[in-house]
Amino acid sequence: MKINRFYPLLCIAFATILASCNQNKEDKPAQLLSDAPSIEGSKEYIDSPFVTAGDRVYMVGHQNGSFPELGWHIKGEMGGIWNHPIKLMDGFDLKLKAGDDMLALNNAHTFRNYPFANKHYYSWEDKNIEIERHQFVPDGKEGVFIKLKINNLNDNEQTIDFTLDAHTDLLPTWLGERTGMYDGIDQARFDEENKFWVVKDSLNPWYVVVGTPLGPYQTSSGESNYKGNGLTVSSSYELVLPKGMTDIKIVMAGSMVSEEEAIATYKDIMDNWKSQLQSKQDRYAQLANQTKLTTSDPEMNEVFEWLKYNSDWLVRTVPGIGSGIGAGIPDYPWWFGVDSEYALQGYMAIGQKDVVYNTIALLDSVSNAVNGNGRIIHEMSTNGTVFNPGNINETPQFATLIWKIYQWNGDKDFLEKYFPTIEKGLNWLLEANDEDQNLFPDGFGMMEIHGLDSEMIDVAAYTQKAFTDASKIAAVLGRTGLQTSYAELAEELRLKINEEFWSEDFNSYADFIGTDEQALHLIDDAIVRADTLGKPWAVEELESTKEAILANPSEEPRPFVLHHNWVVNTPMEVGIADFDKAEKALKTAEKFVNPFGVFVTGIDRDESAGSDDGSFKGSKIFSYTGAVMTLPTGVQIIAENNYGNPDKALNYMKRMNRSFSYALPGSMYEVSPDYGMMVQAWNIYSYAVPIVHQFFGIKPDAANKKVIIRPQMPSSWEQADLENVAIGDNTISVYYDTSGGSLDINVEQTGDWAIEVQLQGIDADKLSISEGSSAGNSKNNMAVISSSENSIRIQQSDEK
């Protein structure tokens, strides 16, 4: 993987993106991206997906420049150009021709990704011509800007033909038929005056406009080779190429409202792409500067920086419906409850606050409209149709999300707004889903395995955490009765989970509590699965468990360890596992790991488990069977940190790092290393939460204008900085250094909040602290340093 971070201010650099190539020093676009980060893709994955991201429009194709039919959610339709809740195009083909010699720009030899743009490279060796295709999506615009840069390396000019074949496919999003959205036949006309194509869906006011400022000598429209009701509209142009660079600008813009709106967007992008690119570049520079990580590990710094960019790629705004983070691209571009409940904790920690508030507002309003009982939805398409009204775990996780965000913003009105949903949801959780009234709700949690819908460990753990956090919210809002009852339920649940879900035989929390009949059915299914995947050890273990159940039957529900699903680690993730049980369970979890992270289902582990070699080969029909995923690995990282194991936590994080840029440069797939969604929202949870809250130990308390900092650094991070962490109206930076053999910490803030630095196992009498600070020792062997100064310096020394 070739990585390039800094570029000279030369015309040949990517600073030339979407600009004419000349030596004019006043040409701002020619210098625009001279220091933009970028990563070159692997030749092995040139025939795999990329995304050009935007909040209104995004484009998905292959890194070689082609646009194959992709995806399974709408089979073969998840690629191309989308302007949710409609699709605009299946893609496009660009062709160059000189006599009988033709070059189709669908076989790039190199792909380079930027935080907010992409670049494909082609060579026409017979003609001594090099070509680049650049593209970006302007913020808030319903279109994509593409620039073709043709470099004639000959001393003489050359005349060639250039053809643009645009494959339109105006169709509704997934579940569109439920809101009366039906796909008509595309109809096209060429606007001679404006030199662009206008294509309309025959049944709807859906439009796409495609063109260049050039005047074609020939145009045509006809049947598309892609599936569906689309067209291929073609324009051919004669180009005289002087020595050097020739640029061709292309815009593809759409609307689901009117032709006038689509044309206006087309013209806006064509006229203002330079300022729009500048604006987007400036915004991404701000994203990079927020919660900026610098350690002695350059790879970790880069992964964290790009995950912040990835997070922005997933913002999905649909007027009339709402704005929020999609779960993943290409097959999950719409909104999910649980994906957001994990991811938004990370988004808040990296300072992307607006999308946090927008997503929460969207989930809350739609959940109340559809369910009305506090239940949080699972999945909603971009036309507003809810597919799944909510899995059980999503309702308690909403309560925890709201409390986590409140710690960052300190906004009591925020709690007031969402507490009614939380209160209703917790009532629904136990009144409608706990038939035996043992406080363990019944139903599906994170594991979508058929039949695995009894009393699930993750549902129990997240329910316990929800009552803990709801008690704190009730206290802030003066609801003392609820505060007490919620706290009592939380404590009762903590004790019951540690007693009733624990399996000493397996040194693990159980996958679920259920009846013998449920367990035997699940075992039979699991044996078929394990046998099909060639896992004899799992078959043997399952057969042994089955024999034990039959030999010792029970009429009462009891805990079962069958699948070794990752969710058995959630009691450690939320920090409620007894310490001795946590130690054993974390050790057991190490068996179900490969070089990229944690298996979703432990019985799927392969021969790479516990080794440093391995990969995942997905099935031809989309399936998560056998998968290692970033979320289970992130949960394991947080769990290890909760029980004082930052080095083990970092080991898991480095396993995830191996997936970074593995297939799509600058991104990390949902299924490690190269399967499923090429960009996934909850990846930021797996990094930002452990880095910000655990390694640097930042505990925000914005309501009281206070921040506690309790570092728990991996031993290999001798120098680590985290700068510009936004908390309320304050910004915190932490600089940590042990490279000189002793501890040196500097904390800076832009406000005058109370800062409390807690250092475990350090004697306050051995610290030198800056003026205006005070230090003392707590009862639990911890030095506590307090200050409200803008800068706090703490140094460890042998003498006071």
Question: Residues 298-308: pLDDT tens digits?
Answer: 999 999 999 99
**CA separation for the pair 382, 700 (Å, rounded):** 34
Give residue 394's pLDDT: 98
Give residue 31's pLDDT: 52
Give residue 17's pLDDT: 32
Residue pLDDT, tens place only, 4-56? 333 332 232 333 333 333 333 344 544 555 578 999 999 999 999 999 999 99
Give residue 34's pLDDT: 58
Sign of CA pseudo-dihedral 792, 752, 345, 660: negative
Q: Pinpoint the alpha helices (H) of 20-72.
A: 28-31
Residues 6+ apart with CB under 8 A from 676: 328, 618, 622, 624, 627, 629, 669, 670
Give residue 657's pLDDT: 98
Q: What is the pTM of this model?
A: 0.94
- Tokens read off for 577: 């596992």
How would you label 94-120 residue by residue, b for 16+ Cβ within 10 Å and e otherwise?
bbbebeeeebebbebebbbbbbbbbbb
Q: Determine phi and psi for 245, rounding to 5 degrees.
A: -95, 135
**CA separation for the pair 563, 600 (Å, rounded):** 9
Give residue 797's pLDDT: 76
**Nearest alpha carbon to residue 55 among 269, 284, 313:** 313
Question: How many of the other CB atoms lie within 10 Å of CB of 742?
Answer: 12
**Nearest alpha carbon to residue 759 among 796, 791, 724:** 796
**Nearest alpha carbon to residue 158 among 134, 124, 132:** 124
Give residue 697's pLDDT: 98
789 phi-psi bin (left φ>0, alpha ψ -120 to 50, beta other): beta
Q: Are 530 and 540 in contact (CB under 8 A)?
A: no
∠ CA(155), CA(118), CA(234), 5° rounding? Answer: 70
**CA separation for the pair 677, 251 (Å, rounded):** 27
Query: What would you report as the CA-atom Rg of the chain, rounded to the nearest whole angstrom?
Result: 28
∠ CA(254), CA(258), CA(261), 5° rounding? Answer: 60
Give residue 623's pLDDT: 64
- Tokens read off for 21: 């190539």
Q: Are 394 and 337 in contact (CB under 8 A)?
A: yes
Give residue 607's pLDDT: 63
In this prediction, the residues of the chain whose per-residue pLDDT falls under 50 are 1-27, 29-30, 612-616, 618-620, 799-800
Q: Are 695 and 714 in contact (CB under 8 A)?
A: yes
Question: How many of the other CB atoms lie within 10 Å of CB of 653?
Answer: 26
Residues 6+ apart with CB under 8 A from 431: none
Please give the C-alpha separations between residue 751 and each of 447, 727, 787, in angstroms, as whole numbers.
44, 10, 12
∠ CA(177), CA(328), CA(563), 5° rounding? Answer: 100
Give residue 27's pLDDT: 43
Give residue 13's pLDDT: 31
Q: Which amino acid is at 322?
A: G
**Nearest alpha carbon to residue 667 among 330, 382, 279:** 330
**CA separation for the pair 297, 699 (Å, rounded):** 24
**CA separation for the pair 465, 376 (Å, rounded):** 16
